[in-house]
Amino acid sequence: MSEPRIRIEDALRNYAQMSPGTPWRSRCEEKAADEIQSLRQRVERLEGALRGIVDHFDKCDDGNAPGHAHSIPGIWDSDNHPAIAGKTCEWCAHWAEAYAALSPKVQEGE
């Protein structure tokens, strides 16, 4: 069983309410720093895995995810099953989101 994780927003909220002389303030900072480091490591791991998946496929410039060829990128064609025709394709939407998440613009905003 894993140790319960602190939530960074709670640690920072508590920190903001403490006066500089509060004995627990440095402990709060330490927990916040640990949580930031843990989250950063997790993001880097997930980013690496996602980049590996995206790089596995050839670059798709037509707006569709690999293996899909919608007439309107990301939208199921009108001749598909009536339940999905004309609706957003979840696979293409996830693919587009993965690409956007790995784009330099997102990384610059860090």
Binding site for Zn ion (CB under 5 A): 68, 89, 91-92
Residue 36 or 100 with smaller CB distance to Zn ion: 100
- Give the shortest CB-64-to-Zn ion separation in angstroms: 5
- Give the shortest CB-70-to-Zn ion separation in angstroms: 5
- Token pair 């980013």 is found at 47
Residue 28 or 89 with smaller CB distance to Zn ion: 89
Helix (H, G, I), strand (E, B) or coil at 75: strand
Residue number of the CB closest to Zn ion reads 89
Residue 75: phi and psi, rounded to 5, are: -120, 130
- Give the shortest CB-58-to-Zn ion separation in angstroms: 16
Residue 25 or 68 with smaller CB distance to Zn ion: 68
- Give the shortest CB-77-to-Zn ion separation in angstroms: 10
How many angstroms separate the CA atoms of 65 and 62, rounded? 8
> Which ranges constitute the DSSP H helices of 1-103?
8-17, 25-56, 90-101
First to last CA, the chain: 32
